[in-house]
């Protein structure tokens, strides 16, 4: 690609090169044409020396020349200025022969136009002077009477100069075309390299062009795109990892109750001479294990339901203070029965939120069950409700055994339990907090675990106020 673009640039610049030569020739032609067109109107051409010369210089009428800003001088054979009107560039009354010769030879290089005519009968030179407006001295003089060797030599020099000029111009064209092409191809190459790395799976690839033009915009877009892809890929990897872990955890958690049910059912069928007590004992184990498997499957179903696109809440405008007060009231008999202390601190005013009351009560129920299940009797369970920055904040805390700090972020993941044992005697599935967090999020809020410096744990539910 680089070569193609560079060659394209070279071709374009060669076209410009030839156009420049054509343009230069055209400029000279136009200049001589324009000069021919205006020559009739220039004062120096209206009053040439031949038009005003007389045999007797005293008869010369210089008034028109002087009025047009020019001057007339007459120099006799003794090189004396015997007549002078208007502009005088000689500046002396008497010249030496050297001075007069110098004046004649240098007249071409002065900023004046001189028309000098010799009057043989009067024996004097008539000099008509006009200040030059602008003069471009460029002329190609050719005389056929010159020696042919001279002509050859001069022609060769001119041809050499023209050739060198054209070569230098061509070289500059080439260099300039390469430099211009490089300003495009170098950033393009870097962008292509970055894209190739991305295609090959290196999502950390970024491009740094150190430019401030449109390429910089392209670079930023590329880098943003690469960053997004990298993020998406890491999310996909993580979700793949989560899915794999979930399947492993489900099969692990289901395996125990299912094998237990199978084992005891076989025992019931095959064991001869069982006592009534043994019979009941085995049936109870089968019932408990099937309850456990059933609970696990129900919660799994609930969790996957919430991830499905069809999942929606039945939101109703609700006074959350009143609602939480009512739930806490319903919790009291259970807390007292189980031997837990309690404390509720809910603000008196009415605060309205959009709530799916059935689903939301699941959060509180889960937090309350956990607090009672994992903490010893006598633990203080506290619920408080405040409003902070347009958010309703419900803190559900206990001063029990607490949750280790390293699990603060992971505790809401499915199947994460503090004891790590899949067969813990509590029978918890490790799905309760995952479901509760998803419900809070579906309400536009969140469920988080606050790091407790003191004893116990504090779960914080937030929900936006309306």
Question: Among residue numbers 438 through 457, which ones bind ligand ADP (CB under 6 A)?
Answer: 457
Q: Which is nearer to ligand ADP, 189 or 413 (CB)?
A: 413
370 lines the binding site for ligand ADP (CB under 6 A): yes
Sign of torsion, CA 265 269 270 272? positive
379 lines the binding site for ligand ADP (CB under 6 A): no
16/20 Cα distance (integer angstroms): 6
458 lines the binding site for ligand ADP (CB under 6 A): no
Figure out which of the listed residues 173, 289, 429, 462 binds ligand ADP, where binding follows CB under 6 A.
429
86 lines the binding site for ligand ADP (CB under 6 A): no
Tokens of 315: 């939101």
User: In terms of residues, how long is the chain?
Assistant: 466
Q: How far is the CB of 322 from ligand ADP (least distance, A)?
A: 25
6/9 Cα distance (integer angstroms): 5
371 lines the binding site for ligand ADP (CB under 6 A): yes
Q: Which is nearer to ligand ADP, 69 or 378 (CB)?
A: 378
394 lines the binding site for ligand ADP (CB under 6 A): no
DSSP-H helix ranges across 40-90:
43-46, 49-52, 63-67
93/250 Cα distance (integer angstroms): 125
194 lines the binding site for ligand ADP (CB under 6 A): no
* Residue of 192, 226, 227 whose CA lies nearest to 209: 192
Q: Which is nearer to ligand ADP, 78 or 419 (CB)?
A: 419
Mark the segment that binds ligand ADP (CB under 6 A) among 167-175, 310-318, 342-350, 371-379.
371-379
411 lines the binding site for ligand ADP (CB under 6 A): yes
Q: How far is the CB of 419 from ligand ADP (least distance, A)?
A: 6
Figure out which of the listed residues 245, 418, 422, 442 binds ligand ADP, where binding follows CB under 6 A.
418
345/258 Cα distance (integer angstroms): 44
329/345 Cα distance (integer angstroms): 12
Q: Which is nearer to ligand ADP, 112 or 306 (CB)?
A: 306
257 lines the binding site for ligand ADP (CB under 6 A): no
CB neighbours of 129 closer than 8 A, spacing ≥ 6? 70, 71, 72, 73, 86, 87, 88, 89, 112, 113, 114
* Residue of 406, 340, 402 whose CA lies nearest to 377: 340
187 lines the binding site for ligand ADP (CB under 6 A): no
Tokens of 55: 């045999």
Q: Which is nearer to ligand ADP, 219 or 366 (CB)?
A: 366
Interacting residue ranges for ligand ADP, rule: CB under 6 A: 366, 370-371, 374-375, 398, 400-401, 403, 411, 417-419, 428-433, 457
């Amino acid at each position: 690609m680089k070569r193609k673009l560079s060659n394209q640039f070279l071709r374009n610049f060669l076209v410009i090169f030839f156009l420049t030569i054509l343009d230069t020739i055209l400029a000279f032609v136009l200049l001589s044409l324009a000069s021919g067109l205006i020559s009739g109107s220039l004062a120096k051409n209206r009053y040439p020396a031949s038009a005003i010369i007389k045999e007797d210089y005293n008869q010369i009428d210089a008034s028109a020349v002087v009025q047009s800003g020019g001057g007339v001088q007459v120099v006799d054979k003794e090189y004396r200025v015997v007549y002078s009107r208007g502009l005088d560039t000689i500046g002396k009354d008497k010249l030496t022969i050297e001075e007069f010769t110098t004046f004649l030879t240098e007249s071409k290089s002065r900023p004046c136009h001189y028309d000098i005519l010799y009057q043989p009968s009067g024996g004097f030179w008539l000099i008509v002077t006009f200040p030059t407006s602008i003069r471009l001295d460029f002329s190609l003089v050719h005389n056929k009477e010159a020696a042919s060797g001279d002509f050859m030599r001069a022609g060769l020099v001119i041809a050499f100069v023209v050739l060198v000029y054209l070569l230098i111009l061509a070289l500059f064209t080439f260099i300039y075309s390469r430099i211009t092409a490089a300003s495009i191809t170098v950033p393009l190459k870097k962008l292509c390299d970055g894209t190739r790395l991305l295609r090959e799976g290196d999502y950390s690839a970024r491009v740094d062009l150190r430019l401030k033009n449109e390429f910089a915009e392209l670079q930023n877009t590329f880098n943003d795109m690469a960053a997004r892809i990298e993020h998406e890929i890491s999310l996909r990897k993580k979700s793949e990892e989560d899915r794999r872990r979930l399947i492993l955890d489900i099969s692990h958690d289901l395996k125990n109750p299912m094998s237990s049910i199978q084992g005891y059912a076989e025992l019931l069928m095959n064991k001869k001479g069982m006592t009534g007590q043994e019979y009941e004992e085995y049936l109870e184990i089968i019932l408990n294990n099937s309850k456990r498997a059933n609970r696990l499957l129900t919660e799994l179903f609930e969790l996957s339901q919430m991830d499905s696109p069809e999942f929606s809440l039945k939101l109703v405008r609700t006074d959350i203070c009143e609602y939480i007060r009512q739930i806490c009231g319903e919790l009291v008999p259970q807390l007292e029965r189980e031997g837990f202390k309690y404390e509720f601190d809910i603000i008196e005013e009415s605060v309205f939120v959009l709530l799916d009351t059935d689903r939301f009560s699941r959060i509180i129920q889960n937090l309350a069950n956990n607090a009672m299940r994992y903490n010893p009797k006598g633990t203080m369970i506290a619920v408080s409700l405040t409003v902070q920055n347009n958010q309703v904040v419900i803190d559900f805390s206990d001063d029990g055994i607490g949750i280790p700090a390293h699990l603060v972020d992971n505790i809401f993941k499915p199947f994460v339990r503090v004891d790590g044992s899949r067969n813990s005697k509590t029978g918890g599935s490790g799905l309760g907090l995952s479901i509760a967090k998803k419900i809070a999020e579906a309400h536009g809020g969140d469920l988080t675990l606050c790091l407790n410096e003191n004893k116990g744990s504090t779960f914080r539910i937030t929900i936006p106020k309306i």
